[in-house]
């Protein structure tokens, strides 16, 4: 009997392979995973997230990157919707080194990955102090703050403020959702 052995993927082999691809892929520690496109609301939330971070971080020594910046998280390679770093970065690299705060905007197809797999992956990165998951279909967030070797979880809703003491800023949660109509509200006015 002939047995075909598959080569085991490593981060190094994945990164070499990904460089030759036309679109970004994540690596879940076992195999490449295609990154799917998001909805218009996902794009709007991500845009407003970056606006809020950029405005508040200007001149403070920290920078926000994403969604095209990748991070190595344990045995995985991830492309968060936003990642904040507070150390010098090589501008020619696609890799954000020493992330401090990571953001994901939920999509229906990524909910399990963002809430379980990425939470575990980001927990393996000692420099990540906070992981924020923004809901896409309502103004809400799950916030995971590093507490030793574990995460302390809290939830935020529309009236609350997202405090990010690691990078010395605060943002009203509703700011990320300005002008967005949710599915039960009908289309946005022209």
Q: What span, in angstroms and rounded, lies between the C-alpha atoms of 62 and 84?
A: 7
Q: How many residues does the chain have?
A: 190
The answer for residues whose C-beta is within 8 angstroms of residue 183's C-beta and 6 or more apart is 137
- CATH number at 38-180: 3.90.1570.10
- Please check whether residue 104 is in contact with residue 111, taking contact to mean a CB–CB distance below 8 angstroms: no
Helix (H) or strand (E) holding 25: strand 25-27
Q: What span, in angstroms and rounded, lies between the C-alpha atoms of 150 and 144?
A: 9
Q: Using alpha carbons, list the distances in angstroms from residue 108 to 48, 112, 137.
A: 20, 9, 9
3-state secondary structure 48-106: HHHHHHHHHHCCCCCEEECCCCEEEECCEEECCCEEEECCCCCCCCCECCCEEEEEEEC
From first to last of the 190 residues of the chain, give the pLDDT tens digit. Answer: 444 445 689 989 999 998 999 888 889 988 898 887 678 899 999 999 999 999 999 998 999 998 889 999 989 999 999 999 999 988 888 899 999 999 999 987 778 888 988 999 999 999 999 999 999 999 999 999 999 889 999 999 999 999 999 999 999 999 999 999 886 554 554 4
**Which pTM does this prediction carry?**
0.88
């Amino acid at each position: 009997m002939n047995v075909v052995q598959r080569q085991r993927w490593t981060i190094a082999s994945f990164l070499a392979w990904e460089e030759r691809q036309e679109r970004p892929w994540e690596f879940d520690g076992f195999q490449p995973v295609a990154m799917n496109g998001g909805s218009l609301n996902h794009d709007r939330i991500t845009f407003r997230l970056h606006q809020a971070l950029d405005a508040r971080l200007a001149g403070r020594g920290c920078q926000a990157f994403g969604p095209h910046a990748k991070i190595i998280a344990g045995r995985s390679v991830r492309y968060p919707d936003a990642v904040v770093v507070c150390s010098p970065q090589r501008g020619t690299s696609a890799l954000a080194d020493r992330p401090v705060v990571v953001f994901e905007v939920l999509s229906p197809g990524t909910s399990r990955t963002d809430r379980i797999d990425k939470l575990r992956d980001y927990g393996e990165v000692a420099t990540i102090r906070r992981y924020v998951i923004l809901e896409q279909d309502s103004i809400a967030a799950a916030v995971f703050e590093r507490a030793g070797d574990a995460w302390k979880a809290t939830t935020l809703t529309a009236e609350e403020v997202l405090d990010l003491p690691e990078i010395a800023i605060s943002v009203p949660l509703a700011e990320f959702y300005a002008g967005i109509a949710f599915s039960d509200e009908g289309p946005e006015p022209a």
